[in-house]
Structure 1
Amino acid sequence: MNKLKIIFAILLTSSIYGCKESLLYSNKNDSCELYLYEDKTYKFKYPNFFENKTEKGTYEVDNSKITLIRKSSTKIDSVDIGYGCWEDNPDSLLLTFKNLYREPINAIVKFNNYDREFKTNSLGEINISYRDLENQRIVGKNNEIDKYTIEFQNKVYIPDMTYYKDSRKPNKIDFKLNQFVGEEFVILKRTYNINNNTIFVNDISRKVIGRDNKLIKVK
């Protein structure tokens, strides 16, 4: 009998200390569920077009924001490009540079193998005149830039622009750089606004999450 009591006590203790207290946030149709555990770890279940996904990591809460942090071995492109052209022959080109966290970065850029360096401003932007590039013979008359060489955090990025070869001369190009390129793991973050019992999701398509992008505290 004493042995049974001892075994029961061990099982009871392990069940008590093996469970982590958690907070659950969910949207109206329960397609997204975010579990926040007392040990600062989290589990996030969300839809992704054809399947549901689950990610795990740690979280931080700072005033009105919550940041979900996770380590990933998934391969991510070194450069992601957003290309905008809304007129036939624009006068200027706006370049924006951000990291994987969508934060503006300080970058140095060269065009078409020319030595002159262009540096971003405090907003991670470079605004240049096509006429200025033509006068410096960096580009030919009415031509666009064929090659970008970007330096960021002692790494060099040369985005592949061949996809846009037959596109109109751009008004704006957005570059998002993978600051972990060449490293074994990528540290990814999701940062959401949080207000009382509501978390506002801003990085999952409404096509998959639905019109309700709010996660409400359930328990």
Structure 2
Amino acid sequence: MRTEEVLAAIATGLWRWDNAAGTVTLDAEAARLLGLPAEPGSYRESEVRSRFHPVDWNEIYAVVNLAVAEGTLAEARLRVVDERGRVLRTVRSRSKPVVPPGRDVGSYVLFGTLQEVAEPQPGSTDAAHTPITGDWRRSREAFLLDAGRALAEARSTAEVLRVAGSLSMPGFSPDGLAVFGSAGERLTIIGHHGHSSDDEEPFTDMPLETDYPAAEVVRTGRAIYLPSPDEYRRRY
């Protein structure tokens, strides 16, 4: 039997997550486990992210970042959900994050496996344990220690934003972060994360009178919350 056939027989798939490129490559079994067409393919990170419970997705980010820092494996259990948020199955991820030469620490590539695991039966001892990862890093104290260490080790605005992005709230995992400032009557970009260098060009010389959220915040001193792209288009 081929390796792929053996892995499929034990409900185990292979995945490759390129954090910098924002792409996830899946073999046929990994795609099936995530509720996608059972065939090899490459997907945008947002497509794969939508297949996981938002709380678990944010946790795997924290686990992977710690594994990168310590040079260890990243292990977690993740709930796979459908379009309505209903849990389809639980999978165990066991992966090795690697930072390719020439990239910074936050631009890793994750190689690993996804394996379906049986749900505990009601009334069993395992059923009483609600944590998905079952890892000490889930505790609030450990989370704060990890966050504090990561922020203390950050050497630039971009690294601070990368850490801040990994500390996002459950259900809110931002694709990018940017910090704006002002110089005279112009909007400036102090730093950004999750965007390419070309993305900042339209904002590098923007007058404060421009009808744009960051410019309005600088003018008024009041925060703006835009709950949807439609609301953004309506207001700006």
TM-score by length of 1: 0.22
Question: Relative contact order, CA 8 A, sep 6+: which one is greater?
Answer: 1
Greater helix share, structure number: 2
Computing the radius of gyration from Cα coordinates, the structure with the larger value is 1
Greater strand share, structure number: 1
